[in-house]
């Protein structure tokens, strides 16, 4: 379940950037590649996630993606 929290929260970085904004999606993808993918085994997983997202993981995106939290509740 924790992997799902991380996955949904990582995807929400792309949503926050704006899925219709190609430049923002490319930049977020570059940041994902340079942190999550490149540093995956070289640092503690939480440290890598915080480096990518700028904060600790939140369960809110997973709840939102599963329809358990309204979209308007997004911070």
Closest alpha carbon to 53 in 71, 30, 73, 35: 35
User: pLDDT value at position 73?
Assistant: 55
- Measured between alpha carbons, how far is 48 from 42 in angstroms, rounded to an integer? 9
Q: Which domain holds residue 11?
A: 2-73
Q: What is the mean pLDDT of the chain?
A: 93
User: pLDDT value at position 40?
Assistant: 76
- Measured between alpha carbons, how far is 53 from 43 in angstroms, rounded to an integer? 15
List, in order, residues 6 or more apart from 28 with CB less than 8 Å away. Answer: 13, 14, 17
Task: Give percent of the chain with pLDDT exceeding 90.
Answer: 88
How many domains does the chain fold into? 1
Ranges under pLDDT 70 in the chain: 72-75
User: pLDDT value at position 74?
Assistant: 53
User: pLDDT value at position 11?
Assistant: 97
């Amino acid at each position: 379940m924790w992997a799902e929290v991380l996955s949904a929260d990582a995807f929400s970085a792309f949503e926050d950037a704006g899925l219709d904004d190609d430049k923002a999606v490319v930049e977020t993808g570059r940041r994902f590649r340079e942190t999550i993918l490149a540093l995956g085994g070289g640092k503690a997983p939480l440290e890598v996630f915080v480096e990518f997202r700028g904060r600790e993981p939140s369960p809110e995106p997973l709840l939102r993606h599963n329809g358990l939290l309204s979209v308007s509740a997004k911070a």
